[in-house]
């Protein structure tokens, strides 16, 4: 499964959030949150379409899709120079697909702030700087490696050097790599050095109870600040999330949420945002045995999508039958969809769409 790493300064609410995730009573009983390692948790991606399909198909079981969250605690000033367990944490970040950066936007005199007072931009900058310094190190290493080749007149190396220098300059100016303006194809020059600050990021503004709906000045500062980055900001209150996670009864949970004027839990918002951040979409398989959600990247063609189920499906791919969920809802059964010409036969060039109900035909 794809992984989102949760980072942030100490005392911003990371563990509270991670624990809420691990206590959340999963909506589908087949996939309770499970902790693989103390700091890694698997969580189901909430998707109301599964409920719709379940009611229509009445399968023996329903399997939602999942993503993983990793609690990467302990990132402090000096990490890039190897202070504390700095290098270990940075190595953890290198392994994740996306970053969830938790930022303290709540005031509470009982919770010590590492820098003395609540200041989201300062907090963000401390973390960003450590990651940028590490990236700068990677970029400089590669520059040294290819400088000679470029000098010997190698055109490709020259071009790469130019791009690397753009990143060097940007990082030195305190920009995250994702905010540096380069062409899509120029990214090839830095792909092999796996920069940390180029990973997609979701900022989670952890606010106090009274600000979950209205937001507050800290959240505004943060939103303004990340405008130039390709990033999203969501607001939640970790303290409330840990309470919400306790409810097993969906109705009680909904009542609790509505008391705060919330439509869904912040965790759900965060999980869905993480999914989008990773550019993921879902297709379904549906039969009397099971209804199941499968995760693919946006833009994948049918054979690659089939490969998520089994590599044989991809290798021996012949064709796929595709039903749109809206048709399934309208005609209620697969055979009725067939009678009404609502099953499309698609070949290997079909780009799977979010919500497609797929049935693959393959050779073994
Ligand atoms: P971490 O170091 O980032 O993992 O932070 P923790 O999750 O351990 O939280 C640090 C302290 O802040 C704990 O005492 C939490 O109870 C408190 N805390 C976390 N989230 C909130 C919140 O939303 N509101 C308030 N008032 N306190 C919170």
Q: What is the tens place of the pLDDT at every residue in 174-216?
A: 999 999 999 999 999 999 999 999 999 999 999 999 999 999 9
CATH code for the domain in which residue 261 is found: 3.40.50.300
Ligand 1 atom nearest the C-alpha of 9 is 3
Mean pLDDT of 274-287: 92
* Domain termination site, one of 137, 160, 191: 191
3-state secondary structure of 40: strand
Contact 243 CB / ligand 1 (< 6 Å):
no
Q: What is the tens place of the pLDDT at every residue in 113-158?
A: 766 788 999 999 999 999 999 999 999 999 999 999 999 989 999 9
The verdict on 207 and 147 lying in the same domain is no
- Is the pLDDT reported for residue 74 higher than 80? no
The verdict on 30 and 101 lying in the same domain is yes
Q: How many CB atoms lie within 10 A of CB 193?
A: 16
Mean pLDDT of 84-109: 85
Alpha-carbon gap, residue 47 to 65, rounded angstroms:
9
The answer to whether the CB of 253 falls within 8 A of the CB of 77 is: no
Within a domain: residue 285? Answer: no
Ligand 1 atom nearest the C-alpha of 238 is 23
Contact 336 CB / ligand 1 (< 6 Å):
no
* Domain termination site, one of 145, 164, 191: 191
CA of 215 to the centre of ligand 1 (A): 18
- Is the pLDDT reported for residue 32 higher than 90? no
Atom 19 (ligand 1) nearest CA:
13
Within a domain: residue 283? Answer: no
CA of 218 to the centre of ligand 1 (A): 16
Alpha-carbon gap, residue 24 to 211, rounded angstroms:
22
Mean pLDDT of 4-22: 88
Within a domain: residue 342? Answer: yes
The string of DSSP codes covering 84-147 is TTHHHHHHHHHH-SEEEEEEE----TTS--TTSS--HHHHHHHHHHHHHHHHHHHHHHHHHHHH
When pLDDT is cut at 50, 70 and 90, the band that residue 29 belongs to is very low
When pLDDT is cut at 50, 70 and 90, the band that residue 323 belongs to is very high
CA 113 from centroid of its chain's CA atoms: 27
Count of alpha carbons within 13 Å of 158, Cβ hemisphere only? 5
Exposed / middle / buried, residue 196 (Cβ in 10 Å: 0-12, 13-18, 19+): buried
Q: What is the pTM of this model?
A: 0.85
* Domain termination site, one of 162, 191, 220: 191
Contact 16 CB / ligand 1 (< 6 Å):
yes
Exposed / middle / buried, residue 237 (Cβ in 10 Å: 0-12, 13-18, 19+): buried
The answer to whether the CB of 117 falls within 8 A of the CB of 215 is: no
Alpha-carbon gap, residue 359 to 364, rounded angstroms:
16
- Is the pLDDT reported for residue 109 higher than 90? no
CA of 105 to the centre of ligand 1 (A): 11
- Is the pLDDT reported for residue 81 higher than 90? no
Atom 6 (ligand 1) nearest CA:
13
The domain total for the chain is: 3
CA of 111 to the centre of ligand 1 (A): 7
Determine the structural domain holding residue 326 and report its residue range: 299-362
The verdict on 88 and 210 lying in the same domain is yes
The verdict on 27 and 93 lying in the same domain is yes
Q: How many CB atoms lie within 10 A of CB 347?
A: 12
The answer to whether the CB of 106 falls within 8 A of the CB of 237 is: yes
The verdict on 271 and 255 lying in the same domain is yes
Joined tokens for residue 54: 């379940």
The verdict on 208 and 271 lying in the same domain is yes
- Tell whether 15 is in a known binding site: yes
- Tell whether 13 is in a known binding site: yes
The verdict on 132 and 248 lying in the same domain is no
pLDDT of residue 30: 42
Q: State yes or no: ipTM above 0.85.
A: yes
When pLDDT is cut at 50, 70 and 90, the band that residue 78 belongs to is confident
The answer to whether the CB of 22 falls within 8 A of the CB of 242 is: no
> Comparing 195-204, 244-253, 304-313, which segment has the lowest mean pLDDT?
244-253
Higher pLDDT, 74 or 178: 178
CA of 124 to the centre of ligand 1 (A): 17
pLDDT of residue 139: 97
- Tell whether 16 is in a known binding site: yes
The verdict on 23 and 94 lying in the same domain is yes
CATH code for the domain in which residue 341 is found: 3.10.20.30
Paired sense of beta strands 66-71 and 40-44, if any = antiparallel
Rg (CA), the chain: 23
Contact 204 CB / ligand 1 (< 6 Å):
no
Atom 20 (ligand 1) nearest CA:
13
Question: In whole numbers, what is the pLDDT of the chain averaged over residues?
Answer: 89
Contact 220 CB / ligand 1 (< 6 Å):
no
The verdict on 206 and 241 lying in the same domain is yes
Atom 18 (ligand 1) nearest CA:
13
Mean pLDDT of 93-112: 89
The verdict on 303 and 264 lying in the same domain is no
């Amino acid at each position: 499964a794809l992984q989102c790493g949760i980072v942030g300064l100490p005392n911003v609410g990371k563990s509270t959030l991670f624990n809420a995730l691990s206590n959340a009573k999963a909506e589908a009983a087949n996939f309770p949150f499970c902790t693989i390692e103390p700091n890694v948790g698997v969580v189901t991606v909430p998707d109301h379409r599964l409920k719709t399909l379940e009611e229509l198909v009445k399968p023996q079981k329903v399997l939602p899709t999942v993503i993983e969250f990793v609690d990467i605690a302990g990132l402090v000033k000096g990490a890039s120079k190897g202070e504390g367990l700095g290098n270990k944490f940075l190595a953890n970040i290198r392994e994740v697909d996306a970053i969830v950066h938790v930022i303290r936007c709540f005031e509470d005199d009982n919770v010590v702030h590492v820098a003395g007072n609540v200041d989201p931009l300062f907090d963000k900058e401390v973390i960003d700087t450590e990651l940028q310094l590490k990236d700068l190190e990677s970029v400089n290493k590669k520059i040294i490696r290819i400088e000679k080749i470029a000098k010997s007149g190698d055109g490709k190396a020259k071009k790469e050097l130019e791009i690397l220098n753009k990143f060097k300059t940007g990082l030195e100016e305190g920009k995250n790599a994702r905010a540096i303006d380069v062409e899509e194809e120029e990214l090839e020059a830095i792909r092999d050095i796996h920069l940390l600050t180029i990973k997609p990021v979701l900022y989670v503004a952890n606010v106090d109870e009274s600000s979950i709906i209205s937001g507050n000045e800290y959240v505004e500062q943060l939103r303004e600040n990340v405008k130039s980055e390709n990033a999203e900001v969501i607001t939640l209150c970790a303290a409330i999330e840990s309470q919400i996670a306790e409810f097993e009864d969906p109705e009680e949970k909904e009542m609790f949420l509505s008391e705060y004027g919330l439509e869904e839990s912040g965790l759900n918002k965060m999980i869905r945002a993480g999914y989008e951040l990773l550019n993921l979409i879902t297709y379904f398989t549906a039969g009397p045995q099971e209804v199941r959600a499968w995760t693919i990247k946006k833009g994948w063609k049918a054979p690659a999508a089939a490969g998520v189920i089994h590599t044989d499906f991809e290798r021996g791919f012949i064709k796929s039958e595709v039903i749109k969920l809206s048709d399934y809802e309208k005609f209620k059964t697969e055979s009725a969809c067939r009678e009404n010409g609502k099953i499309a036969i698609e070949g290997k060039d079909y780009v799977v769409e979010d919500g497609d109900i797929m049935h693959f035909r393959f050779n073994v």
